[in-house]
Amino acid sequence: MLNVGKGDSYVVELDNGLGEKFIFVIDGGAMEQSDVLISHVQKYHNNQINLAICTHPDTDHIGGLVTLFESCNVQHLFLNDPRDVLPEATLLQRARNNLNPQEVSVFKSAFDRIDDLKEQAALQGTKHHQTTFANPQERFVWGGWKVYVLGPSESLFRDIWLNEDVVRDWFSSDTVDALVNAQPYSSVLDDPSIDTKPVNNSSIILLIEGYGKKLLFTGDAGKRALHDAMTVRDISGLTWFDVPHHGSRRNLDTQIINYLAPQVAYISSPGTTKHPRRTVIRALQKAGAVVFSTCKHGSICHGDWQSRPDFSSVQAREVI
């Protein structure tokens, strides 16, 4: 997990047991932080990436991937473009019906970011895998590792981008913040009416499973998406957990945390009062997780090796 401030960026290395590596990047942080990702890939992976995954088109996830394609060789890309499922004209008309002009502009900017990444991928000859949706069957296998896509479902993805009520909620974060700030932490975490903004629930959710380990990557997925993912495959008893949306309390509830019961939880966050939330850290620790975060530890490496050049052991966050 790379320290990219308020963004997300992961570099995953799978070994097939024969010394052959499969390297993939999950999100790239914001464009302003892309040098962190690129320098890491250059130093440890010789500019070679087998797969890049954009979980969703928020700037703090997709921005650095555009620059990555300008600097490194990438063979495959997972990127969900709503226009591969629904006509752009339909999407924009729904937005115009429900949003003010400034909000429509922000809505359209998501398409611009997707286009920028697709253009860079096309220039390089990268294979773009469209419509990466939930499936109980593995997406690919590398040695003893199996990689599954657990979210979003196609129905959820369509709902997020087309449903008029959902479109209205795209810019309701201020209202949600007011509700959140008026309630005690415990009630907010388990309030079913409070969830992350809709586009976050469109995040690609990945499960990596093999050699007795289960690792879950969530992007900014919220409660609805994670509850859906729990029905696709058994993700209880995780070895490692990517805490969604920088540790926001809108994205998890006690049921999800206790079901996942991760041994280790990583949080990519800038260290503000909202990210990560103490109530989320407390709930994870209560469920048995050892918690680490970039705001406390910088870039963090999780693996089976005893040591790694340029890395040293760190202490987990204190129990709260």
User: Is residue 255's pLDDT more than 90?
Assistant: yes
Examine the pLDDT at 36 and tell me if it is beyond 70: yes
Picking from 165, 153, 275, 161, the residue whose alpha carbon sits closest to that of residue 225 is: 153
Higher pLDDT, 258 or 185: 258
Regarding predicted confidence, which is higher, 64 or 272?
A: 64
Length of the chain as a residue count: 320
Q: What's the pLDDT at 129? A: 95
Identify the bridge partners of residue 76 per DSSP, sorted by sequence position.
51, 127
- Dump pLDDT digits (tens) for 72-104: 999 999 999 999 988 999 999 988 988 889 888
9-297, which class in CATH? alpha beta
* 241-259 burial code (b ≥16 CB/10 A, e <16): bbbbbbbbbbbbbeebbeb
Q: Where are the domains of the chain?
A: 9-297
DSSP 44-57: HHTTEEEEEEE-S-
| Per-residue pLDDT at 43 exceeds 50 | yes
Task: Please say if the pLDDT value at position 185 is more than 50.
Answer: no
Q: What is the pTM of this model?
A: 0.90
Give the range among 145-154, 212-221, 227-236, 290-299 with minimum mean pLDDT: 290-299
Span 248-265, average pLDDT: 93
Please count the other Cβ atoms lying within 10 Å of the Cβ belonging to residue 196.
23
